[in-house]
Structure 1
Amino acid sequence: MAMQGTLLEFILGWLMIPWRIFVEIYRHAFPPANEAGEHEHEGMLDASSGDITIDKRELSHWTKLSQQWWDPEGDFALLHGFNHCRIPMILDAYSKYIAQKPLPDTNPLRGAKIIDVGCGAGFVSEPLREYGADITGVDMVPAVIELAKAHWNERHPTEIGPDYLCTSVEEISSQRPEEFDMVLCLEVLDHVANWKEFAAQSCRLLRPGGCAIFSTINRTLAALIIAIIGGEHLLRIVPMDTHHLRKFIKPSEVEYELNKHGLVQVNLTGCTPVDPWARRPRWSDVSYCGVTYAITAVKRA
């Protein structure tokens, strides 16, 4: 992957590696006191508000980066590349578990009701809408939602785009339970304050017989080295302080929580770049799930 940043930034990033490794391992073993309770720590909104999955520090982080989302050479270039495996995965899941037949070449998702929870600037919502899906995109960063709307209107000024909403998963799940054929939570779980509650509310949105896809980063030494040290310090292709080992989640933990809410795992796959030295690499599904992975699950009818 092509590196990004000034020589001084690279040197500082490399010099910080031993300290970052120590901090990540220490905070994984001994979480900060203000994170001891998932519902009360100061980085979240008050639990009485009902929005107990929202992490204010994450909102601040993504707000600062909001104008870079659609820059193909910016800090989100890595996420752009994910669509090479995520979009085919979504189409395949819809074909197998919802339509239960091959999809047409034109508008393959026509009639599909899909919600993209934590949609960001629309990397996934936008192409799914182009495939004909009736898609709702939800995110808690107002600037990012406005950017998503503007990008669609710039590219498709005469067409109806995704229904982008700036709201929490708790709010929309209370208003529209069991409404959607598919629920997507892609690269989101490790950025919320209470991932178990976030997953539970996302499951609530899914109709019986519907299909959900959750993707995130595994809590492994490989993920620490590749996602944090490699991505943030060595290559600087991910904004610093984006990921933290203590917030990574093992696939078995996600599967357990999904089972509690009536979903059965039907597929587990990893993801790796096929051209790792590109600035905007293309990603492909692999069997190794030690770094990034995606779980596909179906809700019991």
Structure 2
Amino acid sequence: MTNTSSIVDREAAHFGSMAADWWDPKGKSAMLHKLNPVRLQYLRDRIDQHFDCDECQFRPLEGKSALDVGCGAGLLAEPLARLGAKVTGVDAAAEVIAVARGHAEEQGLEIDYRVGGVEDVEGQFDLVTAMEVIEHVAEPTAFVAALEKRLAPGGLLVMSTPNRTAWSKLLTITLAEGMGKIPRGTHDYDQFIPPEELQAMLGTVGLEVEDVTGIAMGPMKGLHLSDDMRLNYLVSARRA
């Protein structure tokens, strides 16, 4: 790991240990399976608006490139490929990249999976995603700067992360990790980032925030998009 790398070795090892059942909706990554449809709903809306796509179009990313940073075993990268994008996925854990490659092959999807951090990727992409990643990196501000370098002119950046609130700590760590819904040690509350701090980081590297939307949890709806950002939130941005 170089001094400029976003990778934290213990984080890579932690997520690597979850590789075997990553695609099991009842396994260690069960919460990601519940979260993924919410993220995809948001992504599709932002893609349609940012790139002025027909919302009924099956492959709105046809002819565009996408980079999924911290891609895990491909829960987001595969849908992006089905939306038409030429997808590159990068993750620090070699174990999950191996699973990602195998699963994509089974699905007949061509995705360029790589082991490493965003700093190891060259070129620029029309869409850059980093979902539930920034709270696990070595230096968040440097990580955001690295994401900006990978964003092509006219491109779209979408991120998600837990908010730093008592509510997110209760649901994400005390309850979810405490009850075994998420593997213990997955989250460090001190690494959670409030929306205003992330927006400031994005502005510092020359990106303009287009939208901020919360992800809330409710007894009837489960995880869903909301104006309530106390638990988790998504941010979309472009070059200012």
TM-score (norm 1): 0.76
Contact 2:216 2:229 in 1 (8 A): no
Give 2:207's aligned residue: 263
Of 167, 170, 180, the match for 1:236: 180
Return the letter of the residue paired with 2:37: H
Determine which of 150, 169, 189 is the counterpart of 2:118. Answer: 169
In structure 2, which of residues 150, 155, 158 is the aligned counterpart of residue 213 of structure 1? Answer: 158
Q: Which structure has greater helix proportion?
A: 1
TM-superposed deviation, 1:282? 5.7
How many Å separate the matches in 2 of 1:57 and 1:229?
A: 21
> Who is 1:291 aligned against?
231
Which of 244, 252, 255 is matched with 2:196 structurally? 252
Q: Residue type of the partner of 1:57?
A: R
Q: Within 1, Cα distance between the matches of 2:177 and 2:63?
A: 40
Q: Provide runs of 4+ in structure 1 moved above 6 Å.
A: none
The aligned residue for residue 81 of structure 1 is 34
For the Cα contact (< 8 Å) 1:63–1:143, is it kept in 2? yes
- Unpaired runs of 5+ in structure 1? 1-44
Give, in angstroms, the shift of residue 107 of structure 1: 2.1
Q: Would you say the 8 A contact 2:216–2:230 is kept in 1?
A: no
CA RMSD in angstroms comes to: 1.6
| Structure 2: distance between partners of 1:217 and 1:201 | 20
- Equivalence for 1:191: 136
After superposition, give the CA deviation of every residue in 1:253-282 in whole Å (9 maximum; x if it has no partner): 110111111111111111124567xxxx96
Cα separation, partners in 2 of 1:111 and 1:282, compared to 1, 3 Å: farther
Alignment partner, residue 125 of structure 1:
77
Could you say which residue in structure 1 is the equivalent of 2:59?
Answer: 107
Decide whether the 8 Å contact of 1:255 with 1:265 is kept in 2: yes
SS at match of 1:54: coil
How many angstroms does 1:104 deviate by?
Answer: 4.4
1:105 Cα shift?
3.0
Deviations 1:86-120 (A, max 9, x none): 1121121111112x132443323211211101100
Aligned-partner Cα distance in 2 for 1:77–1:196: 29
Question: Is the 8 Å Cα contact of residues 219 and 245 (structure 1) preserved in structure 2?
Answer: yes
Contact kept, 8 Å, 1:181 with 1:211, in 2: the verdict is yes
Identity %: 32
Q: What is the aligned length?
A: 240
Instruction: Looking at secondary structure, tell me which structure has more strand per residue.
Output: 2
| Structure number with bigger Rg | 1
RCO higher in structure (CA 8 A, sep ≥6): 1
